[in-house]
Amino acid sequence: MFPLSSAAPSLSQQAQAYVQGARYLAALNPEQRAGVETLDGPVLVLAGAGTGKTRVLTTRIAHILATGRARAYEILAVTFTNKAAREMRERVEALVGEGVEAIQWLGTFHAISAKILRRHAELVGLKPNFTILDTDDQIRLLKQALKAENIDDKRWPARALAHQIDAWKNRGLSPAQVPAGEAHSFANGKGGVLYALYQERLKILNAVDFGDLLLESLRLFRERPDVLAEFHRRFKYILVDEYQDTNTAQYLWLRLIAQGRRNLCCVGDDDQSVYGWRGAEVENILRFEQDFPGAKIVRLERNYRSTGHILAAASHLIAHNEGRLGKTLFTDGALGDKPTVTGVWDSEEEARAVGEEIEQLQRRGHALEEIAILVRASFQMREFEERFITLGLPYRVIGGPRFYERAEIRDALAYLRCVSSPADDLAFERIVNTPKRGLGDATLQLLHEYARRESVPLTHAARVLTESEEIRPKPRATLRGFIDDIERWRALSETKPHHELAETVLEESGYTDMWREEKTPDAAGRLENLKELVRAMEEFPDLSAFLEHVSLVMEVDEAAGSERVSIMTLHGAKGLEFETVFLPGWEEGLFPHQRSLDDNGRAGLEEERRLAYVGLTRAKRRAKIFFATNRRIHGLWQATMPSRFIDELPAANVEVVESASASQYGAYGVSRFAGLDRYSSGYDTPGWRRAKEAKSQPQGKRAAPPIIEGRVLSKSTASAPFEKGARVMHLKFGPGTVQEVDGDKLSVAFDHAGTKMVKAAFLERG
DNA sequence: CCTAGGCTCCTTTTT
DNA sequence: GGAGCCTAGG
């Protein structure tokens, strides 16, 4: 991070730091230094956006180590994401030098809880090798529970129950602790029963879900003071990142574990709390002083990231929230460019305008790596992607489906789980008929009945039933073959290295063949992913170490480095920074999102506003806000109004600009800053009239024909025949050359979008 | 047992 | 508009 201003610590302070032999302190400003050096007792570091919070955390750890206050294994450092944990570890190592003993207890809440539970599993009724289930397994298990209770899963979907149970777990509530009223809220009073049933089932499977990692270790702390005391003795210093994101369970967990020596340092920013919808309680950070009497509060308000106007705009916006701890960010740096606000006709023009501005920046020598488009909801991404493909502009979508969430990877893992633990019913169910073996519901039903009756795992039931006459001969033989395979693989796992075993299993089970035979375009990619999985396994000593990694560290390394524009959600952008940030879709209903307002009222609105604040403060030098007056929502074109957040920006620090593409194509851009307050009164603008016309059209149809590169693609010109080699233009894919002609279908090699089959009606000579 | 077609939902996302 | 999920029919 480059300070925009001259270094804040005074010369004498810097010199002092060197005298003490603590070189790392010299780089800090006085507030950061207080955050590092206030080691005794509870400390809350309120770190505004871009004020160097990670630096404080990492330097604090280095300082504790350097002063000999604690050894590396006596420090507990908790983060929310694996990414944050990794970054913290790397930066601490850079400060103290590698080779120093690793900080064992640095990790996510979940990873650390898992580590604690593996050590004391028996005390909470688990075996140390318990399985950690992900959302997918969780849902399937709940579906079974619903079925067992004869509940219509149409009316009461398993997904909704999963959310409810998660919400209870986030609040630290076991089935017995759920308030009666809430327990009855699901499925006409069955909610509590289902929760209890689900927990029972987990115990039988020797499994926990993510919420349980926290909840069970919390229970352990509560029920076993001796165990808790052991952790009190061990952890001399505790650090927590992103404290504003803690949920109640995490808060209770922390409070218990920090009770010992009370050397707790929490770092966070109440203005960046954007995870309320998954259980985060801003109140935790607001209440810190009451929770930890005698706590010192350190405020980091000197911003090293953004230029003045951006900071002013963000600060003014967030000031509309009530119930803040209150910080005033400032910078000694230049005022820089004002954030811009641009109105466009619709989302298509928005993508076009953003694309054009990016090309302009590119021409002026700006790095694409330093440009990001931050959207509220992921459906907004597609339009930008399409536009960028047309332009041949390299981009990267961040936060797509994660590697370990892909079906082929989960299937492969299910095979391995089956081999490594015979009792893993969920894994068995997942792959028993993948690839298709002719073992359908009917057979599985028989296995389930037997397994339930005898309280044995499904594989065991399968073994027994293949010896009886209960299953018809054909599936019986298949089933026997299959469990023989599993047992053979299990025997093999004694001798074969685990990654070779994985290869064998995937080959012999016919799983890789299944994809090889599949003709869909993504089959090749899936096979690639499977290879990548086997490669990744080599880095782990054994199968169980790998499976632990997979269940807790579900992510892929982003292929960073290459020159690309980033497209991501505002949530995903938290903690990142870019020279230029595009903020499209600032419209009522989308941002703030209607659902947020409907479900959570004022609190929802404030969280949305914090999200806007997060978005603006990602920008180092340029923030560009857009709103469209028409957007397709659920397939219907709707007229939209600019976001109230636009009107909450300080006019003095914001500039209204016309859309780059509007001037070219005669489209339409407007805002109250343009002088006419068109939106709060009257609705009589060309755009509004067109919006009304568009609305009265049959659904989904635009009034105007599609425009590309300033030309109208009309049917008459488009249907003229094309010959091989002709240069053509396509609405979505841009320019290309005709390769093959087959009636009205053409194979076209597009300059930027590869070769595709397209209809002649969508092409124009180019 | 498998597949096609109909129905429903649609914010954000980590572990 | 479209993905995913379930049901009905082959």
Domain boundaries, chain A: 11-117+217-302, 131-205, 340-394+562-663, 406-517, 726-765
Torsion, Cα A572 A575 A580 A581, to 10 degrees, reads 40
Lowest average pLDDT, out of A74-83, A412-421, A544-553, goes to A544-553
Q: What is the C-alpha end-to-end distance of chain A, expressed in Å?
A: 46
Quickly state the pLDDT bin for A26 (edges 50, 70, 90): confident
pLDDT number for residue A732: 52
Q: Do domains A11-117+217-302 and A131-205 have the same CATH topology?
A: no
Closest residue (Cα, C1') to B14: A81
Alpha-carbon distances of A542 from A31, A387, A493, A551, rounded to whole Å: 46, 45, 10, 15
Instruction: Name beta bridge partners: A106.
Output: A77
pLDDT number for residue A140: 84
Angstrom distance (rounded) from CA A158 to CA A169: 16
Lowest average pLDDT, out of A140-149, A458-467, A557-566, goes to A557-566
Query: Tokens at residue A254, please?
Result: 């922390």
Nucleotide nearest to A433 (CA to C1'): B1
Angstrom distance (rounded) from CA A701 to CA A637: 8
pLDDT number for residue A123: 95
Rounded to the nearest 5 degrees, what angle is found at the Cα of A574, between the Cα atoms of A594 and A28?
A: 145
> What residue type is assigned to position A422 of the chain?
P
Closest residue (Cα, C1') to B7: A154
- Protein-proximal positions, strand C, CB < 7 A: 1-2, 6-7
**Could you write out the DSSP letters of every residue in A211-237?**
HHHHHHHHHHHHH-HHHHHHHHHH-SE
Q: What is the bridge-based pairing of β-strands A565-569 and A395-397?
A: parallel
- Scanning A440-497, the segments in alpha helix (DSSP H) are 441-454, 458-466, 473-495
Lowest average pLDDT, out of A214-228, A686-700, A712-726, goes to A686-700
Give A16's Cβ-side CA count (13 Å radius).
9
Topology given in CATH for the domain delimited by A340-394+562-663: Rossmann fold (3.40.50)
pLDDT above 70 as % of chain A: 83
Helix, strand, or coil (residue A291):
helix
Alpha-carbon distances of A298 from A66, A240, A295, A620, rounded to whole Å: 22, 15, 10, 24
**CB neighbour class for A414 (10 Å; exposed up to 12, middle 13-18, buried from 19):** buried
pLDDT number for residue A695: 30
pLDDT number for residue A455: 86
pLDDT number for residue A44: 95
Please state whether strand B lies within 7 Å of residue A510 at its CB atom. no
Angstrom distance (rounded) from CA A328 to CA A305: 14
Nucleotide nearest to A474 (CA to C1'): B1
Helix, strand, or coil (residue A524):
helix
Q: How many angstroms separate the CA of A154 from the C1' of C6? A: 10
Rounded to the nearest 5 degrees, what angle is found at the Cα of A692, between the Cα atoms of A686 and A694?
A: 100
**CB neighbour class for A456 (10 Å; exposed up to 12, middle 13-18, buried from 19):** middle
Q: Are A643 and A591 in contact (CB under 8 A)?
A: yes
- Catalytic residue numbers of A read 53-54, 241-242, 272, 618
Could you tell me which of A194, A220, A197 has the C-alpha nearest to residue A125? A220
Please state whether strand B lies within 7 Å of residue A115 at its CB atom. no
Task: Name the residue with tokens 């068995």.
Answer: A428
Please state whether strand B lies within 7 Å of residue A81 at its CB atom. yes
Q: Are A191 and A183 in contact (CB under 8 A)?
A: yes
Q: How many angstroms separate the CA of A436 from the C1' of C10? A: 18
Q: How many angstroms separate the CA of A475 from the C1' of B1? A: 11
Angstrom distance (rounded) from CA A704 to CA A688: 14
Angstrom distance (rounded) from CA A356 to CA A391: 9
CATH superfamily of A11-117+217-302: P-loop containing nucleotide triphosphate hydrolases (3.40.50.300)
Is the pLDDT reported for residue A700 higher than 50? no
Angstrom distance (rounded) from CA A449 to CA A201: 15
Q: How many angstroms separate the CA of A440 from the C1' of B5? A: 21
Please state whether strand B lies within 7 Å of residue A438 at its CB atom. yes
pLDDT number for residue A429: 86
Beta strands in A27-151 (DSSP E): 43-47, 75-79, 105-108, 131-132
The total number of residues written for chain A in this structure: 766
Contacts of A86 (CB under 8 A, 6+ apart): none
pLDDT above 90 as % of chain A: 45
Please state whether strand B lies within 7 Å of residue A634 at its CB atom. yes
pLDDT number for residue A438: 83
Lowest average pLDDT, out of A10-19, A437-446, A654-663, A744-753, goes to A10-19
Please state whether strand B lies within 7 Å of residue A610 at its CB atom. no
pLDDT number for residue A436: 84
Query: Tokens at residue A137, please?
Result: 């397994």
pLDDT number for residue A364: 94
Quickly state the pLDDT bin for A478 (edges 50, 70, 90): confident
pLDDT (tens digit, 9 = 90+) per residue, A560-605?
567 899 999 999 899 899 999 999 999 999 999 988 888 888 889 9
Q: Is the pTM of this model over 0.85?
A: no
Contacts of A633 (CB under 8 A, 6+ apart): A589, A590
Residues 276-335, chain A, CB closer than 7 Å to nucleic strand B: 277-278
What's the average model confidence in pLDDT over A266-275?
Answer: 93
Query: Tokens at residue A603, please?
Result: 């609190």
Helix, strand, or coil (residue A302):
strand
Angstrom distance (rounded) from CA A582 to CA A629: 17
Lowest average pLDDT, out of A244-253, A416-425, A611-620, goes to A416-425
Instruction: Name beta bridge partners: A280.
Output: A247
Rounded to the nearest 5 degrees, what angle is found at the Cα of A700, between the Cα atoms of A699 and A701?
A: 95
Q: How many angstroms separate the CA of A525 from the C1' of B2? A: 25
What's the average model confidence in pLDDT over A166-170?
Answer: 91
Q: Which residues touch strand C (CB under 7 A)?
A: A 143, 153-154, 632, 634-635, 700
What's the average model confidence in pLDDT over A224-241?
Answer: 96
pLDDT number for residue A50: 92
Is the pLDDT reported for residue A629 higher than 70? yes
Angstrom distance (rounded) from CA A380 to CA A164: 28
Eight-state DSSP code of residue A337: P
pLDDT number for residue A173: 93
CATH superfamily of A406-517: PCRA; domain 4 (1.10.486.10)
Alpha-carbon Rg for chain A, nearest whole angstrom, is 29
Contacts of A390 (CB under 8 A, 6+ apart): A732, A733, A734, A752, A753
pLDDT number for residue A719: 36
Beta strands in A28-72 (DSSP E): 43-47
Nucleotide nearest to A569 (CA to C1'): B12
Is the pLDDT reported for residue A75 higher than 90? yes
Lowest average pLDDT, out of A287-301, A370-384, A471-485, goes to A471-485
What element of type H or E holds A712?
strand A711-712
Nucleotide nearest to A153 (CA to C1'): C6
Angstrom distance (rounded) from CA A7 to CA A218: 44
Which range scores top for mean pLDDT: A439-443, A457-461, A656-660, A762-766? A457-461
Helix, strand, or coil (residue A754):
strand
Angstrom distance (rounded) from CA A42 to CA A725: 73
What values do phi and psi take at A316, rounded to 5? -65, -40
Q: How many angstroms separate the CA of A155 from the C1' of B7? A: 14
What's the average model confidence in pLDDT over A54-60?
Answer: 94
Quickly state the pLDDT bin for A680 (edges 50, 70, 90): very low
Rounded to the nearest 5 degrees, what angle is found at the Cα of A360, between the Cα atoms of A355 and A366?
A: 105
What's the average model confidence in pLDDT over A752-758?
Answer: 60
| Mean predicted lDDT score pLDDT of chain A | 82
Query: Tokens at residue A706, please?
Result: 């599609």
Q: Is the dihedral of CA A46, A49, A55, A61 positive or negative?
A: positive
Task: Count each helix (H run) and each strand (E run) in chain A, helices first.
Answer: 32, 23
- Protein-proximal positions, strand B, CB < 7 A: 1-3, 10-15
Binding positions of A for ATP = 47-54
What's the average model confidence in pLDDT over A72-100?
Answer: 88
pLDDT (tens digit, 9 = 90+) per residue, A113-146?
999 999 999 999 999 989 888 888 888 888 888 8
Torsion, Cα A720 A724 A727 A728, to 10 degrees, reads 50
Q: How many angstroms separate the CA of A150 from the C1' of C8? A: 22
Q: Are A397 and A372 in contact (CB under 8 A)?
A: no
Which range scores top for mean pLDDT: A183-192, A480-489, A751-760? A480-489
Pick the CATH number of A131-205 from 2.60.120.20, 3.40.50.300, 1.10.10.160, 3.30.1360.30: 1.10.10.160
pLDDT number for residue A288: 93
Give A255's Cβ-side CA count (13 Å radius).
18
